[in-house]
Amino acid sequence: MDSMVKTIPLTLIPFFFLLAKYKYPVKTLENIILVFGYIYFVLYMYQLLNPDTAYFGYALVDDTGGYRESRGVTRVVFPGAGIFWLACFISLSKLISNQGNKYILVPLVLLGLAVPVLQATRQLIGFVVILYFLHFGFQLSLAKKIIVSFLLIIGGIYVGALNLPVIEGLYQETHDTTSEGTKYIRFITGGYYLTEFSDTFYTKIMGNGFPADRSDYGAVTIRLIEKGMFLEDVGIIGLYSQVGIIGIIAWLFIWYKSFTVILPKEYYYCKYYLWMLLFTCLTSGSIYTVHYAISTTLVLYIYNQVKLNERYKLKQVIKLLLRRKLVREAHDSRRPGAPAYVVSKV
């Protein structure tokens, strides 16, 4: 029963079908997401400036009830990050397609670069830098590409020369991780959950479900956490442990579609969001945690709705062309000198 209660927040997925039934406007959803993106950042900054008390979230909270320093910075892993990243990617897509208010979009684009550094999250930093570079690189002229590349190089050299604690912390963390090799705790955790935790054929296919604190299953996961074996730290392996191979296949299908289904430029944010989940899926629980459930649902709905609208427009164009063709043929048949069609009698 406790595991079922633990699963309830993830039942947001049926919300997709509710949106699809009433065909909720995509533009309205985009505006709502942008508003909540700003709300997220304001609350995040409030928590960052007041780290002694954890007002939001529970990850990386120490015994005194506040956020502790890690990797040279106070790492605030703020809950509900999915909406923030979706808002950043919407701003990025709308900005390059010249849609929306730049005074609203540009700050979110810049915040998308700042927050991963403030959180000292290596994979997110790498993904955002690569995404921004490729996104603007394909859209800008050659002269602008050279200028942007030059500024990025100069900016990188300047930041590196500052000897910021967060840069030193990231470097030290990466060095420690590399030196530990197969003894690295995430490597051990991933191997355990992949090969030992799901010990029956049924759990390999369907998973073990989501652990609740007061259940026997939850007690086992708590003991593993006390050893430093966090399920969220092994990303997609954690998903496999909880929902089995079926969940892995579903996500692989979604990621495949994100590369093969073509979207208009102003909706590239749907692809960017799904690619972020793919890029970080080895060490992040974002593909199954409740903090990303609503944003993932909204992305899938927008993806579906945009393609349905395109198909509807294509059908309307085809109908219009056929109607014009029929009218033209009817008009030609009534013109003087038009060939007459005689039905011969047998």
Q: Please name which of 240, 241, 246 lies closest in space to residue 220, comparing C-alpha atoms.
A: 241
Range from 17-31, 166-180, 233-247, 329-343 carrying the lowest mean pLDDT:
329-343
Range from 25-34, 255-264, 265-274, 329-338 carrying the lowest mean pLDDT:
329-338
Q: Which is more confident, 41 or 209?
A: 41
* Residue 29 exposure: Cα atoms within 13 Å on the Cβ side: 24
Tokens (6 digits) for 109: 């684009």
Mean pLDDT of the region 320-339: 65
> What backbone torsions phi and psi does residue 74 show, to the nearest 5 degrees?
-75, 105
Q: Which is more confident, 298 or 160?
A: 298
d(CA 25, CA 29): 7
d(CA 23, CA 338): 49
Mean pLDDT of the region 197-218: 79
Q: Residue 237 in contact with residue 196, Cβ under 8 Å? A: no
Plot region of 72 (φ>0 → left; ψ -120 to 50 → alpha; else → beta): left
Q: Tell whether the model's pLDDT for residue 10 goes beyond 80.
A: no
Q: What angle do CA 86, 89, 94 make, to 5 degrees?
A: 125
Percent of the chain with pLDDT over 70: 72
Q: What is the 3-state secondary structure (H, E, C) of the chain?
A: CHHHHHHHHHHHCCHHHHHHHHCCCHHHHHHHHHHHHHHHHHHHHHHHHCCCCCCCCCCCECCCCCECEECCEECCCCCCHHHHHHHHHHHHHHHHCCCCCHHHHHHHHHHHHHHHHHHCCHHHHHHHHHHHHHHHHHHCCHHHHHHHHHHHHHHHHHHHHCCCHHHHHHHHHHHHHHHHHHHCHHHHHHHHHHHHHCCCHHHHHHCCCCCCCCCHHHHHHHHHHHCCCCHHHHCHHHHHHHHHHHHHHHHHHHHHHHHHCCCCHHHHHHHHHHHHHHHCCCCCCCCCCHHHHHHHHHHHHHHHHHHHHHHHHHHHHHHHHHHHHHHHHHHHHCCCCCCCCCCCCC
d(CA 133, CA 113): 11
Cα separation values, 130 from 8, 135, 276, 343, Å: 35, 8, 11, 70
| Mean predicted lDDT score pLDDT of the chain | 78
Q: What angle do CA 256, 259, 264 make, to 5 degrees?
A: 135
Q: Tell whether the model's pLDDT for residue 225 goes beyond 70.
A: yes
Which pLDDT band, with edges at 50, 70 and 90, does 88 fall under?
very high
**Could you tell me the pTM of the whole model?**
0.80
Q: Tell whether the model's pLDDT for residue 337 goes beyond 60.
A: no
